[in-house]
Amino acid sequence: MADMSDNFVFAPPAPVSVPITGGGHFPVRRIFCVGRNYAAHTRESEPPFFFTKPNDAIALGAKIPYPVATASLHHEVELVIALDKAASAINPDAANALIYGYAVGVDLTRRDLQDEAKSMRRPWDMAKGFDHSAPIGPIIQATQIGHPTKGAITLAINNQVKQSGDLADLIWPVPDIIAALSRLVTLAPGDLIYTGTPDGVGPLVVGDHVTCHIDGIPPLAFTITPTA
């Protein structure tokens, strides 16, 4: 029997999804990321800013190949929000109702390309949105853990802690992030938001074993392998 797929010029890509703790898969629509979002002392007065990665930047495997076109791959451990409802122009007090669950993610960054882009006032896309640039662990449902507003967030390389922060130090808490983003785009089921990273970002090299932890959320671990 004919179906619509007969009209595609090639097979559509398989859906990108992230496993859910306890079973099932979360289909990923878009990946939004918040820029600088942790402060030791001061609360910024300007609103959060966002960039994106393509959804096929999602990396689920235990091995992440060192990317091409960089000599400065950096780690940024981040709380990831997974949305399962649509919304636009909402207020923060309506934001938690959009959240399906949470995961631990890493916003991998080609820092040399980002520094160049910043200095030349160019977009960050190629510094942020490359292949395998969005490692993520399993998603745990908010119905199981609630909506965390504090708790340790850490990243270690070869068992040495490099990043250590607390969700309580987010400059823009999760509901504020969602509300701000909902005023820029119409949010949709399947959207992920990487919420920014605490201090301590730094380089990764081939062979590094990276372990990431946020209290109450399934951990994430991977090893950097030679460029594929």
Q: Which is nearer to Mn ion, 76 or 191 (CB)?
A: 76
CB-CB contact of 132 with 58 (8 Å)? no
Q: Which is nearer to Mn ion, 141 or 176 (CB)?
A: 176
CA pair distance 27, 15, nearest whole angstrom:
7
> In angstroms, how far is the first alpha carbon of the chain from the final one?
40
* Contact map string, positions 95 to 114, toward Mn ion, x by CB under 5 A: ------------x-------
Instruction: Decide: is 76 part of the binding site for Mn ion (CB under 5 A).
Output: yes
* Count of CB atoms situated within 10 Å of the CB of 49: 12
* Contact map string, positions 191 to 210, toward Mn ion, x by CB under 5 A: ------x-------------
Q: Which is nearer to Mn ion, 107 or 191 (CB)?
A: 107
3-state class (DSSP) for residue 210: strand
Specify the length of the chain in residues. 228
Q: Least Å distance between CB 37 and Mn ion?
A: 8
Cα torsion angle, 12, 86, 186, 139, sign: negative
Residue located via tokens 């992920």? 192
Instruction: Decide: is 73 part of the binding site for Mn ion (CB under 5 A).
Output: no
Q: Least Å distance between CB 180 and Mn ion?
A: 16
Size of the site for Mn ion (CB under 5 A): 3
Please report, as residue ranges, which positions from 117 to 136 form the binding site for Mn ion (by CB under 5 A). Answer: none
Residues that bind Mn ion (CB under 5 A): 76, 107, 197
